[in-house]
Amino acid sequence: MKIRVGFGFDVHQLVEGCALWLGGIRLEHAKGLLGHSDADVLVHSICDALLGAANMRDIGYHFPDTAGEYKNIDSKILLKRTVELIAEKGYRIGNIDATICAERPKLKPHIPLMQETLAAVMAIDIDDISIKATTTEKLGFTGREEGISAYVTVLIEKE
């Protein structure tokens, strides 16, 4: 068996008038993330990590923000397609370890639903998805509540 590791990172600006999508679910919050798609930083980071591990470039290469068909798209669609892309190269997901960095809203109560939602999209066991949340102790753009970022490490396997 061959294993590979990938890393993903994404950040989007928080603005009024946008929905807040994180981990495939919509959260109630005064601000949402600005982007070409639904701007789900966690899903985008997972896609980048998976594509990187399979040596398939990044999310922007496969789903460019200049393409109209991806305008306002549900990022879960991009994630499902990413899993299909790596499967075409013979890879399957081993596990995912993710950290969302946000001052607010508090994410701890939403993590189980994020795990359940993402596991269903990727057709993997919920135990193979670790999601953690942290703040930056009010430092930087995250601390000023100007944006949210996500960091993801994945392991993929090839038989």
Q: Is 48 annotated as a binding residue?
A: no
Q: Is 3 annotated as a binding residue?
A: no
Q: What is the DSSP letter of 48?
A: H
Q: Options 3.30.1330.50, 3.30.70.370, 3.20.20.70, 3.40.50.10800; which CATH number does 2-158 get?
A: 3.30.1330.50
Q: What is the DSSP letter of 42?
A: H
pLDDT of residue 159: 75
Residue 19 has pLDDT above 90, yes or no: yes
Q: Is 37 annotated as a binding residue?
A: yes
Residue-range domain boundaries for the chain:
2-158
Q: What is the mean pLDDT of residues 86-115?
A: 97
Residue 67 has pLDDT above 90, yes or no: no
Closest CA to 143 of 154, 156, 134: 134
Q: Is 125 annotated as a binding residue?
A: no
Cβ proximity of 16 and 31 under 8 Å: yes
